[in-house]
Amino acid sequence: MSVHSARPVRGTRDILPEEMALRNRAEQIISDTYRAAGFEQIETPALEDIDLLLGSEGGENLKMLFTILKRGDKFRPAEDSEPKDLCDIGLRFDLTLPLSRYFSANKEKLALPFKAVQIGNVFRAERPQKGRFRSFKQCDIDIIGDPSIGAEIELVHTTGEALKALGFTDFTIKVNDRKLLNAFLGNKGFTDEQIPSVCIVLDKLDKIGQDGVAAELTEKFEDLSAEEAAALVAEAAQMTLDTAAQATGLDDAASDLKLLIDTTNAAAGGAYQAVFDFSLIRGMGYYTGPVFEVSYGPYGYSVGGGGRYDEMIGKTSKQSVPAVGFSIGFERIIGILEDEGRKISDDEQTFVLFYDLKDDLPAVLAASDGLKAEGKRVVLTQKKKKFGNQLKHAEESGAAGFMVFGRDEEPKLFESKES
């Protein structure tokens, strides 16, 4: 019999107990913060209809779909079959599109504004690289049915508080508004069709600088002279809320962003800050208003992001409903907590209860249940001949103490744990 490889599927990973304990505590902190702020948790299936996924404005994510083969008689392959001919289901690539479908399907049972928490895995067939996986967890909060900047204020504040509760400080929440960006680029003569490609290039400002962005724009748009491109990029890079309002005439959008930034900063009391960043794009095509992104310390990637997507629910519902969401990149948060060797408080004490199969087993279980009732965690372990080794191993594994059934009346603390 041949032995099958035990490696997980390419781009996915197994989670060991130590990391899992950290993940569970982090998820609990995030979930408690969201729930205390009045958000309600919901869940949607990992599977979604393939036409719904392909019909979304998921940008690059649509190229990374995992798609599921039709079953039974519906599976009819041909030489020129396209993936979408053979598949009826795909794995979700984010939690926003499923939430929109969910809201449309269940809106009679939900009061507006509906404040949702979702915590779940999403799937993208990306080229695997360090810290980037094909299955990863996201933690989203969304507010559906509130068209005002009050929704953005609540989301940004609650996300900031969740990150603070996880022990993060000095992070920055960058905010921008798609309406300002679109109006600015429209004034420069770009058509609605061109604007997304301009944005993709502008998004690289952090990485390739003003000269790099200007050069790429000149290359991409024949009508654009090198001078015009350089001027446009310089203007964008130096944009403030005041100049954005002047350049676009969108005074309301600019003053809403100002209210969002000022309120967030006042409530944060210096623990983190919100700033205007006109070069913040966010890849998804479905954003219609304010967008946000969290950057932290020296890490060259965002640890969260979101924005307003007022048109998406209209795709699965006759009525369009305003909506805005903020997603925490759970895997990146965990990666940073591990990188920085940070612990999230855990005062749990584990005791090893040694026993023998020949002991009075109901009494062994009663002793174990008694310790658990006192709030202790108990690892039942059969005594071996080399008991000294077992004891040493128990101590090394982090247990606080041990008890030998039939010999000890009470658990003993290991010497290293005695204060």
Going by their DSSP bridges, the two strands 302-308 and 114-123 should be labelled as unpaired
The helix or strand, by DSSP H or E, that contains position 351, with its residue range, turns out to be strand 350-355
Strand segments, DSSP code E, in 149-196 are 172-177
Select from 48-56, 205-213, 224-232, 245-253 the region that touches a second copy (CB under 8 A): 48-56
Question: What is the closest distance, in whole angstroms, from the C-beta atom of residue 416 to a second copy in the complex?
Answer: 18
What's the min distance (Å) between Cβ of 85 and a second copy?
9
What lies within 8 Å, CB to CB, of 188 at 6+ separation is 232
Rg (CA), the chain: 27
58, 61, 134, 294: which one binds a second copy (CB under 8 A): 134
96 binding a second copy? (CB under 8 A): no
**Could you tell me which residues are beta bridge partners of residue 378?**
351
In the region spanning residues 26 to 45, those forming contacts with a second copy, defined by CB under 8 A, are 31, 35-38, 40-45
Asked if 77 is part of the footprint of a second copy (rule: CB under 8 A), the reply reads yes
DSSP for residue 190: -
Name the region of 375 (left: φ>0; alpha: ψ -120 to 50; beta: rest): left
Among 26, 30, 91, 162, binds a second copy (CB under 8 A): 91
Pick from 109, 207, 343, 407 the residue near a second copy by CB under 8 A.
109
Residues comprising the chain, all counted? 419
Alpha carbon distance 352, 400 (integer Å): 8
Whether 326 contacts 318, CB under 8 Å: no
* Token reading at 112: 């507006």
User: For a second copy, which residue of 267, 271, 275, 404 counts as binding (CB under 8 A)?
Assistant: 267
Give which of 355, 336, 342 is closest to 403, Cα–Cα.
355
User: Cβ 360 to a second copy, closest distance in Å?
Assistant: 9
**How many other CB atoms are found less than 10 A from the CB of residue 101?**
21
d(CA 143, CA 114): 6
Q: Which is nearer to a second copy, 151 or 202 (CB)?
A: 151
Q: Check whether the bond before 322 is cis (ω within 30° of 0).
A: no
Using CB under 8 A, which residues numbered 152 to 191 contact a second copy? 153-154, 157, 161
Q: Rank residues 24 and 169 by Cβ distance to a second copy and give the closer one.
A: 24
- The Cα 316–Cα 103 span in angstroms is 9
CB of 209 vs a second copy, minimal distance in Å: 33
Residues numbered 196-255 forming contacts with a second copy, rule: CB under 8 A: none
By CB under 8 A, residue 275 contacts a second copy: no
92 vs 188, beta carbon nearer a second copy: 92
Q: Are 224 and 218 in contact (CB under 8 A)?
A: yes
Q: Give the residue, chosen from 62, 259, 404, 413, that forms a contact with a second copy under the rule CB under 8 A.
A: 259
Binding to a second copy by residue 410, rule CB under 8 A? Answer: no
The piece of 9-17, 180-188, 276-284, 337-345 that touches a second copy (CB under 8 A) is 9-17
Minimum CB separation of residue 52 from a second copy in Å reads 5
Nearer to a second copy, 105 or 226 (CB): 105
Per rule CB under 8 A, count of chain residues that contact a second copy: 104
Binders of a second copy among 349-408, rule CB under 8 A? 350, 357, 361-362, 365-366, 368-369, 372, 376-382, 393, 397
As measured in angstroms, the least distance from the Cβ of 362 to a second copy is 3
**Residue 17 touching a second copy (CB under 8 A):** yes
Interface region with a second copy, contact rule CB under 8 A, candidates 10-18, 278-286, 290-298, 328-336: 10-18
Closer by beta carbon to a second copy, 131 or else 212: 131
How would you list the strands of the sheet with 377-382, edge to edge?
377-382, 350-355, 401-404, 412-413
Q: Which is nearer to a second copy, 97 or 233 (CB)?
A: 97
The 300-329 site mask, x for binding a second copy (CB under 8 A), equals --------------xxxxx-----------
**Based on CB atoms, which residue is closest to a second copy, 78 or 347?**
78
Select the residue interacting with a second copy from 59, 60, 78, 226 (CB under 8 A): 78
3-state secondary structure of 207: helix
Nearer to a second copy, 247 or 337 (CB): 337
Answer for the pair 67, 87: CB distance below 8 angstroms, yes or no.
Answer: yes
Q: At which residue do the structure tokens 């109901």 appear?
A: 362
Site of tokens 């309002």: 245
302-308 and 323-329 as β-strands: parallel, antiparallel, unpaired?
antiparallel
The label of the residue with tokens 């479908």 reads 101
